[in-house]
Amino acid sequence: MSENPQPTQEPQFPAPSPADFDPTQAADYAQKMLLPHFSDAPSESQAATPLAPAEALPPSEVETHEHQIINNLYDQIDSINAAKAADDANRNRREADQKRLAMTDELTQLYNRAGLKAQYQEQQGRFKGRRGTDNGDALLVIDLDHFKNVNDTYGHPVGDKVLKRVAQTLRSALREDDVVGRWGGEEFLVILPNTNSETAQIVAERIRTDIDNTPPDTEVPVHMTTCVGVGPLDFSKDLEDNVEPADKALYKAKQSGRNQVVSTYTQAA
């Protein structure tokens, strides 16, 4: 019985580098090593005629033949890279959209609690080591007066319109660098970087007045007022720790008749 012949090993060809590419191997390289990797390349059985070996070409055409093959390969590589870059950009955009949605309150389109915390942590990175002082940074806690009565009397659709109008009022009353979000329910939070106590109280009073004077776009007449608690912002602490003193000032405003601003600065004085 005759032995089965050992398969002949395909020759290995170097990568197509313009610096060291051997023109006598160009055609064989393209046919045997590169073309099978492309989906539209003909198989060995489908190919009508093999590529002519480079050594069979007239000497004047060898260099042109080589450059055509290499340029075609680089065109394919550029196309693959461009497609990959487009896929990466689309994926990054989707991930950014998902992250934004996860940190945005669906109703008001302000930051939600998670978004506020993320923004605060970003501010901590910028102002690391800066402690809350009269000349530093401030925090506002805002709560709508008797909002539950609006929902109970007119229903949640009207209450939702009130919250949307309050969100618009807050955005228009604040600077670009200020951070505002819905802390929960009818309570909102405002981070005021580079804001001393006097300016923080002016901003708080402007917000209170604007909400008082801006009726929401509802089918029934709704007059909304708010209380605002003002406190210093200490970036060496967690956000919740900063909220606590401003929240106490807010509670005092509620006890004192509502529709007013109370500041921890004035309490300390």
Q: Where are the domains positioned within the chain? A: 23-87, 113-268
For 141-158, what is the mean pLDDT? 96
SS (H, E, C) 83-139: HHHHHHHHHHHHHHHHHHHHCECCCCCCECHHHHHHHHHHHHHHCCCCCCCCCCEEE
Q: Is 95 a catalytic residue?
A: no
**190, 205 Cβ separation under 8 angstroms:** no
Which of 14-23, 107-116, 234-243 shows the lowest per-residue confidence on average (mean pLDDT)? 14-23
Write down the catalytic residue from 186, 198, 205, 219.
186
Coil, helix or strand for 73?
helix
- Higher-confidence position of 3 and 183: 183
Task: Give the model's pLDDT for residue 78.
Answer: 86
142: confidence class by pLDDT, cuts 50, 70, 90: very high
33-75, pLDDT tens digit by residue? Answer: 555 544 454 555 544 455 445 455 565 666 677 778 888 888 8
**pLDDT interval class at 252 (50, 70, 90):** very high
Domain 113-268 in CATH 3.30.70.270? The answer is yes
- pLDDT at position 223 is 94
- Determine the pLDDT at residue 254: 95
- Report helix, strand or coil for 187: strand
Compute the Cα dihedral for 149, 153, 157, 162 and give only its sign.
Answer: negative
The answer to whether 31 and 51 are in contact (CB under 8 A) is yes
CA 104/CA 75 separation, integer angstroms: 43
Q: Which helix (H) or strand (E) holds 182?
A: strand 179-184
